[in-house]
Copies of this chain bind each other. A is one copy, B any other.
Amino acid sequence: MNVEKSNWMQIEAWLKRDDRAVLPIGCTEQHAYLSLATDAILAERVAQEAAEPLGVPVFPVMAYGITPNFVAYPGTISLRVETLCAFVRDVLDAMHAHGFRRVLIVNGHGGNAPAQAAVAEWLGAHAGAQVKWHNWWNAPKVWKAVQAVDPVASHASWMENFPWTRLEGVAMPRETKPEQPWAQWTHLGPAAIRERLGDGNFGGAYQRDDDSMYAIWRAAVEETRALIEGGWA
């Protein structure tokens, strides 16, 4: 159930028979030649497709996240750690008040990890509630599918280049970018990171064939769906 296409009566009806919900969160940040909204687009889409046959409500994507290392790239919006943590707490508080007890957060952006700690704090104060934090892109099955295509896969490379994140009229570079020693630059601050990282791709080819991408996507949808369906207490 897409919350954007539901009214409150429908949510109330759902809560009479189930207590699960899905919250996708992403980021608005540089993804080299791809959409600045890549992390939000993918998190929301995989959440929607995964939940669709189950009828579990999927709330609107939070399109902004924590990305302090990329702020020298125009269009990158970084929320402070406290802001995203506050957002996640507010949403969980509201969901809990309505009766939701099992929430899957489908996270599309590695930098949002601090909010996972906020979730753990929240769980400590809400006995009986369960909240899974799911980094859809590096969960076991997706990662295996990615590695099967090309082991060099990272931020803003082919691995995030889906028909729904690439941009019309934007040509991808033909070459394969060497893996970037990204972790060795973070102490230098965002200006130096941009200077070294250039277009923003962390390394790898810029695009692969769509069949490969669809295979990865199917793995993502299935893996996410399994987390919505099972593994709860």
Question: Which residue numbers of A lie inside 8 Å of B, CB to CB?
Answer: 3-12, 15, 28, 30-37, 40-41, 57, 59-64, 66, 68-69, 71, 73-83, 85-87, 90-91, 94-95, 97-99, 111, 113-114, 117-118, 120-121, 123-124, 126-127, 129-133, 167-168, 170, 184, 186-192, 199-200, 231-233
Who on chain B is nearest to A83 by CB?
A: B86
Cross-interface CB contact of A121 among B77, B81, B233, cutoff 8 Å: B81
* Set of chain B residues within 8 Å of A64, measured between Cβ atoms: 60, 62, 87, 90-91
Question: Within the oligomer, what is the number of copies of this chain?
Answer: 6
Contact A81 B81 (CB under 8 A): yes
Contact A80 B127 (CB under 8 A): no
Which of A4, A11, A34, A99 has the most C-beta atoms of chain B within 10 angstroms of its own C-beta? A4
Who on chain B is nearest to A90 by CB?
A: B79
Who on chain B is nearest to A190 by CB?
A: B124
